[in-house]
Structures are given as C-alpha cells and as structure tokens.
Structure 1
C-alpha cells in the first residue's frame, strides 16, 4: 500500500537542496521553527547517500515494505535528525572533497560531524579530523611554524588570512571531542589559556587596530573546561616564575660571571614583561631564544649556549606537559 502526501501536509521545500530529478525526499524538523513551518523537505538522489554511507546503502538495499510513503513522486523518509544538521551534511556532501573554509564557520559544523559519525560517512569525518589536526598541530615545531606563517601574513597586512591559520578554539574543542581527535585539544586549550576574556568571537576588542588578536566563543565553553583553563594559567604562571631560578647557575665554563649574572636578570625581566604583554609564555620564551636576541652578544659563549639550551628545554617541557596540565587536571 502506498501513502501519498500533499504539499501542505508535510512541510516546506528547502530553497536549494530540493532537486526535482531526485528519487528520495527527506523530511526533517527544525530545531527552532519560530514562525516558520516546522518541517523542511530535501529532495536528493539515493545514489549520493548510498555511495558515501554504508548505513544508507544497507537501508536502501532492504526489500520494500507494504506501506511506502511517497511525496511528489518520490519515496519519503522522515529523518530523526534536525533540519539544520541535515542541511549541513547535504551541503558538505555536494562539495566533496570538503574544505572547512568553503563554509561559514558556524555551529552547524558540529551537527555535520555528528551525522557523519552516525551514518559512518568516513570521507567527511576524516576530512574534518585532518583539517583540525593541521589547524592545531600537536608538535611544538609545527606549532612554531604555524605561528611564523600567521605573523608573516599579518605583518603583510592580511589579517583575515592570518585569522584562518588559528581558527576559533572552543568550536575546535567540541569537534575534537566528537571525533576523538585528542591531539587537537593541546593547541586549542593552550590558546584559550592566554586569550583575554574580552577577546570575544565576532566582537571587536580595544587592541584590534594595533595588533591581531585571536578570538573565542567563551559563552560556549563548558564550565569544567573553563576551570581547567584557569588552573592551567596558574600552573604556567608558576613555571615561568619558578624555572628561571635555575638560570642563576652559569655555564660550566663561564668567563664573565658578574656580567653574565647581570644579563640573566635582564633576560628574565624582559621575559616577564613580554608575558604580561602577550600573555603567551611559549612565544615569550621563543623570542628570547632566537639568535637575533640582543642578549646573545651580552653573554659569554658558555652562558649563551646554556641560555639557549635552557630556554629550548623549558619550552619543550612546558608544551609536553600541557595535556596533563590542562586536560587531565581532576575536576571535582
């Protein structure tokens, strides 16, 4: 027995994802219908869904049942997913190979990933995971290279291109947890640990005209993650204050102990000032570690080697401990 529906009893056609040649109509309800019709109709090709999803492929392979719902001459399926998430998934499927920057980076991306996992559409899941890992590298050297590229692009005057290299971190954390991409959390949490609470996504901050400031959707941050970030700031602050005490030990073959001790004090005063300015201890340490640092010529050769080695090891240790510092802190 076939059940037909008229247009008024189902819902509204999607403006762009209702293809007359399609052989399948998907009906889905809006999350927040407001004053609009509560259902949206998508007309697509079964082949597209079956090609990308083994779940849909198995569903379409089932023998027909006695009761078949149709609409506008095509089979009708009522989807348990929201119309907003389904729209996002269909948009991405039409644009494969998927590029995250081809779409407005809004909340729909989490819904797309959720459906990609649910319907085992690995092409979308793997693409999102790959782009997340490229945007938030877990390797310190790769993180530094990304920062160098971003700074070079920003100094060239293209702040929009610079912003793309460090996307919004809160949404990235949500996506990483959905697809179990744990490595992504490292960079995203670290960026949040030094961002100001006034650096709000889609809002201008007082310093925007002077420098490029990454932003975050602080309002979407889980309360437990916020506590992790607060504790991480305290831990990172403590380490940048406590570890420099070790620098009082000069190089093993120091030839200018008085001068080198004086220089070391200047180095850490400069580092503290840079951390206060940028709130980014890793970047502050890297600036001092560069060969162009003015302090290089103020130290004897032994202490210069000792300083560079110490700074490099300090940064590496700080980065390696970020997961335990930020993510694995017990939250009671």
Structure 2
C-alpha cells in the first residue's frame, strides 16, 4: 500500500531512513517522519521492541520503506524527534514561567517510550526551578527580589517596565499539574508552598491579558513583584491539599515559635540580666517573631529577614549570646517548616 496524502516533515524526513512514522496534527493533517530504526531503538527500549518485530508481507509501506501509524500528536512527536536528532541537549531556559507547559508533552512521550536520558534531563531542569533544599530556595527568592527591585527602579526613573518578574519566575500551578501527569513528585513541596503565598485574585490569565475598563492594563502589582498562578490548572484535590497546607502551616508556626519563645533552657542567661542585656528582651523579640509570622502569608521570608524582626522589636540591647541564640532558633524554625512541607500539604512520597 502506497499512501499519497502524507505531508513530509521538512527536517525530519531523511532520505536514508528505513522506517516512516505517521502522526496526525491538531488540524488532522498526516505528517510523515522518515527516521532510522537504529536511532529510535538506541534511545528507547519500547521502540526497540516495537521495531524488532518481524515484518510480514502485509506490512504497509511508504516511499519504499515500512511505515507505522503513531498514536501521538504529530506536534509532540516532532519535538521528540528533534531532541533525538537535532538537539540532543534539550535547551530549557531556567525560571521560565512557561517551562511546565513547554516540556509536559515531551516528558509524557519520554515516559511512554522509556527514554530515560530525556526524562532525567527534563526533571533536572524542573528541580532547579523547584528546589529540594532551603538554601537553594533562598537563592531563588533573592533572585526574584532583585528582579522586582529592578522593575520598580525602572518605573521610578520613568522607564517602562513591561518585563515583569512574574514572566521570568517559575509558575506553580502548571508545575503541579505536570508533576501529577508525569510523576515528578520532588517539585511538589516547593511548588505548593509558593502557591500558598499567592492570592486567588492573582490569576495568570486575568493579570497578564485582561485590561481595565479604560483599556490600560493594571500592572502595578506586577511591577512590585507580585506573583500569579494559572489557577484553572489545579484539580479539586490540589485545592484541598493547598488549603490543608495553609492551615497546618499556621498551626505549625504557632507551635514552633512558641516553643522557641519558651526555650529557657537554650536562653543564655534565663531569669537574670547580663550586662546591658535583660532576660525580658529574649521574650520581647520572640513576641515580635510570633506576631510577624501570624500576619504573614510567607513565613519562610518573614523568618529569613531576622534583621527586620530585630528592628521591629526596637533593637533591644541583646548580648551576643542572646542575638546568636535568637538567630539560631529562627533558623531551626525555618528548617523545620521547610522539611515539613511534604506533610503539611499531604503530598505523595518523593522519588
């Protein structure tokens, strides 16, 4: 059988290829990819098994070689073959808000055909955007704050800022959606925590494409570094995990800060004064910490800014030991919160 209504792919139709893969586009066109069995088999055990089957006389052929009708969308198969033939090292821009949307179809095929090196490459990039350690999280946060500061300065100097930080920072809802679809559990704790900081009113589509009644976009929040989410990509179960995590975070913070507040054992000089440092200052600072956390939607950031907390408490004349003890206690609370994200949001086990 020699079908004649196939459209040859411009780049991925090799004259010396020994098999043709046929796939449909969204517009219902049939695209022919002429490739090499050896290349496909080398990258995928599934393709190796599929293409090793003995050919019978009834096998369909096209352009003199056998062809296989593929169930995958032509657009997705094209991207996969481009990686295998043209761009072996997949280029993914770090912190791109669209990364999960871009790589999801490719990761689905990498999983389906067990192309392990491609799956590992994509997951590595995703985990760089959604880190597993608190120190890596802090690095990304400093980067985001720097982007926001630059944008604000541009506006202050009457320069247009339409390159909003939100466009160049990871977007959580699409990452969570991809995680479920492609089995990438390690990115979930950071993604859910980030999502817990965002107002439901800060919707990606509404914020980036909607206009005010006067036809001028309201970008004030974006200029100041506001983050948005593609809320429509979350499932009902995701929303339950999100709301559960928010409540558990509040409870955990109250318990952990209160524990540090009353940690008289770790207080360098409990119930006595030491030089200009009075023991009541210890409690005063922890009162400020507790109040700041209670009012915050981002406790990791609040606790990170220890200097601001000390200033808010009137810069009491703490001795070195007390100041060091408070900073150490705050670090311990931050680490406990970070390490507990998995449980707070009821997330699946990490890989």
Same topology, TM > 0.5 = yes
1:1-332 equivalences in 2 (<5 Å): 3-7=1-5, 11-14=6-9, 17-19=12-14, 22-30=17-25, 33=26, 36-93=27-84, 94-101=86-93, 105=99, 107=101, 109-157=103-151, 166-202=169-205, 203-204=207-208, 207-246=220-259, 247=261, 251-253=267-269, 255=273, 256-273=278-295, 275=296, 279-288=297-306, 297-301=315-319, 302-328=321-347
Q: Secondary structure at the match of 2:66?
A: strand
List per-residue Cα deviations over 1:2-28 (Å, max 9, x = no partner).
x21122xxx444455445554432112
Say if 1:25 and 1:75, in contact at 8 Å, map to a contact too: yes
Deviation of 1:282 (Å): 0.8
- Change over 3 Å in CA distance of 1:303–1:159 after alignment to 2: farther
Deviation of 1:324 (Å): 0.9
List per-residue Cα deviations over 1:18-77 (Å, max 9, x = no partner).
4555443211234xx4xx335333333334322312222333333322123222344321
- Change over 3 Å in CA distance of 1:60–1:212 after alignment to 2: same
For 1:79 and 1:221, the matched residues in 2 are separated by 30
2:215 equivalent in structure 1: none
Deviation of 1:271 (Å): 4.4
For 2:288 and 2:101, the matched residues in 1 are separated by 46
For 1:37 and 1:232, the matched residues in 2 are separated by 44
For 1:252 and 1:86, the matched residues in 2 are separated by 64
For 1:184 and 1:105, the matched residues in 2 are separated by 13
For 2:316 and 2:201, the matched residues in 1 are separated by 39
- Change over 3 Å in CA distance of 1:58–1:159 after alignment to 2: farther
Q: Secondary structure at the match of 1:233?
A: helix
- Change over 3 Å in CA distance of 1:27–1:287 after alignment to 2: same
- Change over 3 Å in CA distance of 1:267–1:37 after alignment to 2: closer
- Change over 3 Å in CA distance of 1:315–1:64 after alignment to 2: same
Deviation of 1:131 (Å): 1.4
Say if 1:136 and 1:166, in contact at 8 Å, map to a contact too: no
For 2:236 and 2:140, the matched residues in 1 are separated by 29
Deviation of 1:164 (Å): 7.6
Deviation of 1:272 (Å): 4.3
For 1:149 and 1:268, the matched residues in 2 are separated by 27
Say if 2:172 and 2:195, in contact at 8 Å, map to a contact too: yes
For 2:127 and 2:199, the matched residues in 1 are separated by 24
For structure 1, the residue ranges without an aligned partner over 5 or more in a row are none
Q: Secondary structure at the match of 1:197?
A: coil
